[in-house]
Structure 1
Amino acid sequence: MKSIELIVYGAEVLCPSCVNLPSSKETYEWLEAAVSRKFPNQPFTITYVDIYNPPSDDGNKKQFAERVIEEDLFYPVVVIENEIVGEGNPKLKTIYSEMEKFGYHAVEI
């Protein structure tokens, strides 16, 4: 199985439409814990990208961070293999379903 990368694009400041939701960083940490529990011992990476300070050495992440700002996407935006799978308040069920398409097998908790 190929290890996939989940990327959480967000910012320190909450998006205007996401006032009562967790911060992007909190969502990233929550997602990392939830995915690790659901797919134990299965390789994946999860990366947090600050949309206002993206990594300068990764053109794809920098370009997508700019897109989040330009298109006023609700962040955090969760991306798996170049597909947006969650925006604003990402749903675990949708993220799990996308990972299963790549051969991940859920372990019931």
Structure 2
Amino acid sequence: MEQKLVEIQVYGAEQLCASCVNLPSAKETYEWLEAAVARKFPNQPFTIKYVDIYQPPEDEAIKLFAERVIEEDMFYPVVLLEGNIVGEGNPKLKTIFSELEKFGYKAV
């Protein structure tokens, strides 16, 4: 299977969501996830972006999803992989790694 360059987006905010008080911040989750994916799939390119739901970039699709996170009271961070939600609140590496493997990533 040919590997595709996958984009991971982590949506969150500086302030922890009410149900996520004892969990890492969205920014910490973003940094942790970036390191974990790079370690599990070395030399396999991917992009990862952090999106502040209260200050999203001008990209319309990103803005719309950031609004959805707020309006639907999603537990953040919300992790998207190629536009699909793969984690919310306390994302699981096993789930994210499994999704990456569907795109041809090979665990080391």
Q: State the TM bucket, normalised to the shorter chain.
A: over 0.9
Q: Which runs of 5+ in 1 are unaligned?
A: none
TM-score normalised according to structure 2 size: 0.97
In the alignment, which residue of structure 1 is the partner of 2:69? Answer: 68
Deviation above 3 Å: which 4+ runs of structure 1? none
In the alignment, which residue of structure 2 is the partner of 1:40? Answer: 42
Q: Take 1:60 and 1:105, find their aligned partners in 2: how far apart are those partners?
A: 29
**How many pairs does the alignment contain?**
106
In the alignment, which residue of structure 2 is the partner of 1:11? Answer: 13
SS at match of 1:34: helix
1:82 Cα offset (Å): 1.1
Aligned match of 1:30 in 19, 25, 32?
A: 32
TM-score normalised according to structure 1 size: 0.96
SS at match of 1:14: coil
Q: Take 1:73 and 1:42, find their aligned partners in 2: how far apart are those partners?
A: 30
Task: Provide the aligned C-alpha RMSD in A.
Answer: 0.5
Give the letter aligned to residue 77 of structure 1: V
Q: Take 2:5 and 2:55, find their aligned partners in 1: how far apart are those partners?
A: 26
In the alignment, which residue of structure 1 is the partner of 2:60? Answer: 59
1:2 Cα offset (Å): 1.7
Q: Take 1:59 and 1:94, find their aligned partners in 2: how far apart are those partners?
A: 27
Write the deviation string for residues 12-52 of structure 1: whole angstroms up to 9, x where unpaired. 00000000000000000000000000000001000000000
Give the letter aligned to residue 33 of structure 2: L
SS at match of 2:47: strand
